[in-house]
Amino acid sequence: MAVTELQTLVLWALLGKPGGGGFQKDIKPQVKKPDRKALVKAGLITAVKRGRPGYWLEVTDHGWAWAAEHLDARLPTRSPAGSFVFQTWLTRLKTFIESRGITLADILGPQRAAVGGSTQRSGERPVSQPLDYNTIRERIRRAYLAVTDGRLNTRVLLSDLRDMLNDMDRSTLDEALRRIHLEPGTTLSGLNNPQELTDSVRAAGLTFKGEPMYVLWITK
């Protein structure tokens, strides 16, 4: 099934939101029923009715894969929502850059050539940089603050945290999160609202002493 230019822009708008989801009423461009149903039929998003706020739209794994393969897909040239989506993506890019400690040139500048399964710039030698716990802990904190716009004592879904730290081995990150959970000022918690337990949120969770955890709080 072909995806229209406007439907593609709707998908980019959703992908610009943390976790790739949001209420239909909050999405720009305005999501009309035919476009919503078409994206659902194509398997690119899910649409779940959640009371008065209306439909919660969320990009599926297939949608993420489609987006990765169609970054050059055509977009509507006359939609005023294009600049809004672009601004959202730039904000997300800024958050990504700050959480990784990299520069814009690392992304948009001359790219590194693959060498032995890793990447390096011309003339550089590959350098192994194993991360110790303190380094991982600091990266988690920076990613947390990036998601919350610098606010403490605000919940962050582990799914959003993993998006920010997706270059880190899952077992390494899980071990660090369990260790952080035991420290003053940081807490893992579950979710009381079953409607929030989407497939992506559930998949990003971890267990601590048999209890499922989906949220990280940092209070100091």
| Helix residue spans in 109-192 (DSSP H) | 133-147, 158-164, 170-181
Q: What is the architecture of the domain spanning 5-98? A: Orthogonal Bundle (1.10)
Reply yes or no on whether the pLDDT at 12 is more than 70: yes
| Whole-structure pTM value | 0.54
By the 8 A CB rule, do 111 and 41 touch? no
Cα distances (Å, whole numbers) of residue 84 to 26, 29, 81: 12, 9, 5
For the chain, give every domain's residue range.
5-98, 133-218
Residue type at 8? Answer: T
pLDDT above 50 (res 125): no
Query: Over the stretch 52-105, which tens digit does the pLDDT of each residue have?
Result: 888 999 999 889 889 989 989 999 988 889 898 999 888 888 877 877 777 888
Inform me whether the pLDDT recorded for 211 exceeds 70.
yes
Q: Which phi and psi (to 5°) does residue 207 adopt?
A: -110, 145
